[in-house]
Amino acid sequence: MSYDLLLKGATVVDPGQGRHGVYDVAVAAGVIAEIGERLDGPARQTIRLDGKILTPGWIDIHAHVYAGATTFGIKADALCLATGVTTVVDAGSPGWTNVRGFKEFIADPARTRILTFVHISSIGLLNSMRGEMEDIHNADPERTAQVIEMWPDLCIGVKVRQGRLQVGENGIEPLKRAVEAAEMVGVRLMVHIDQGVPLSSVLERLRPGDIVTHCYHGKGDNILNGGETVVPEVYEARKRGVFFDLGHGAGSFHYEVARKAIRQGFYSDVISTDLHIYSLFDPVYSLPETASKVLNLGVSLEEVVRQTTINAARAIGRDDTLGALIPGAVADIAVFELKEGEFVFTDSHGQQEMGNRKIEPVLTVRAGTVYHPADLQGEIEETRQRAVEMKSITGLPFGAVKKTEPRLK
Ligand SMILES: [Zn+2]
């Protein structure tokens, strides 16, 4: 059989298909053609990947990519393709008023597959300097449901942020309205958890398939609730089918919380970045960088890949087509090198830790097209410049977490 692309000799890690071993992967007409112990082609392009790790294309279920129309959105296309991410989900930058612009100007032109949650706030996350739900009049379940129904391929669910800074005096009301919108159209909900709103009051309202993001945040009202052990309500929610997403960001990944939770066997279901202008080049950088932090906390490579592929696909309800390498499915593939050495990683509070393994992107295949990180550096520099420009206007984000001087533990 003749192929367009033949990737030879990599160690395939595909938890969704239960595959872990050395295989060749062939691509034809933008889809996975074949996976086998030895495929000989001919192929128009053959790439040897001995010693490298080949996985399904990674899915980042929490980022902010509505660049130019929200204060903290980044131009993420090149950055995704340079780091193994073939699908990126915006966690509620658009609301019902501006989701059409998101579709036309961001999602449709992108090479990366871009999906979104629609914020229950009609204005989405337009202005990161104010809480989008301080004014409850911005919450409009009917119209939110209506746009999700209009663009179901793009809009995968409803987003709400439930912290005191985002909701002001409105307590749990934004969440109630977000659930109402989600029920109207039969989609999932992603809820940002944060200080100032009791976690139990959020969790008790979540339904099977809903997603809690920022599960390892270290501010008040987190999964440890000031103690040492993960609170029972968290386990109860997981038992019901609620997903727990990492959502690193500038304020929501705390080494101490993550370490305590992981030691107790409480792993996130999904690893995501929460990339935006404030988190982009420090401390998040990319999804592989975030995943490397989890890896160095003692979670296996297999589990880390599960959380960035099949689990992420399940959390967004797309595991029928994404998150695994299946002949006939779109050829979204990531290739990494597992580097060994001494690496410094930083959490959202400025705490630094050494790690001895790092997942480094080698190449990305998106719908059959090969992207090399080196070829995307110019575009990534532009992304960085735009973030610097916007930060010069906004200053620190609203409610920025207090950072210690970076220190090594
Ligand atoms: Zn976010």
Segment 342-369, tens digit of pLDDT: 999 999 999 999 999 999 999 999 999 9
3-state secondary structure of 99: helix
Ligand 1 centre distance from Cα of residue 128 (Å): 10
Q: Amino acid letter at 15?
A: P
pTM over 0.95: yes
Ligand 1 centre distance from Cα of residue 91 (Å): 6
pLDDT digit string (tens) for 281-304?
889 999 999 999 999 999 999 999
Of 54-63, 225-234, 389-398, which gets the smallest average pLDDT? 389-398
Q: How confident is the model at residue 407 (pLDDT cuts 50, 70, 90)?
A: low
Choose among 90, 211, 212: nearest CA to 155. Answer: 90
Name the CATH superfamily, with its identifier, for domain 3-55+329-341+350-375. Answer: Urease, subunit C, domain 1 (2.30.40.10)
For the chain, which residues make up each domain, given as ranges? 3-55+329-341+350-375, 58-315
The average confidence (pLDDT) of the chain is: 96
Distances (CA, A) of 392 to 70, 129, 366: 15, 13, 34
Q: How many CB atoms lie within 10 A of CB 56?
A: 32
Contact assessment for residue 244 and residue 269, using Cβ atoms and an 8 Å cutoff: yes
Residue 14: per-residue pLDDT? 98
pLDDT digit string (tens) for 312-331?
999 999 999 999 999 999 99
Ligand 1 centre distance from Cα of residue 157 (Å): 14
Ligand 1 centre distance from Cα of residue 249 (Å): 7
Q: How confident is the model at residue 397 (pLDDT cuts 50, 70, 90)?
A: confident
Q: Evaluate if residue 408 carries a pLDDT over 70.
A: no
Q: Amino acid letter at 129?
A: M
Torsion of CA 346, 347, 352, 358, to 10 degrees: -50
- The topology (CATH level 3) of 58-315 is TIM Barrel (3.20.20)
Cα 124 from Cα 166, distance rounded (Å): 12
Neighbours of ion ligand 1 (CB under 5 A): 91, 274
Ligand 1 centre distance from Cα of residue 122 (Å): 16
Residues 78-99 have a mean pLDDT of 98
Q: Evaluate if residue 399 carries a pLDDT over 80.
A: no
Contact assessment for residue 322 and residue 16, using Cβ atoms and an 8 Å cutoff: no
Cα 87 from Cα 74, distance rounded (Å): 15
Structure-token pair, residue 290: 């975030």
Residue 405: per-residue pLDDT? 62
Question: Do the domains 3-55+329-341+350-375 and 58-315 sit in the same CATH topology, yes or no?
Answer: no
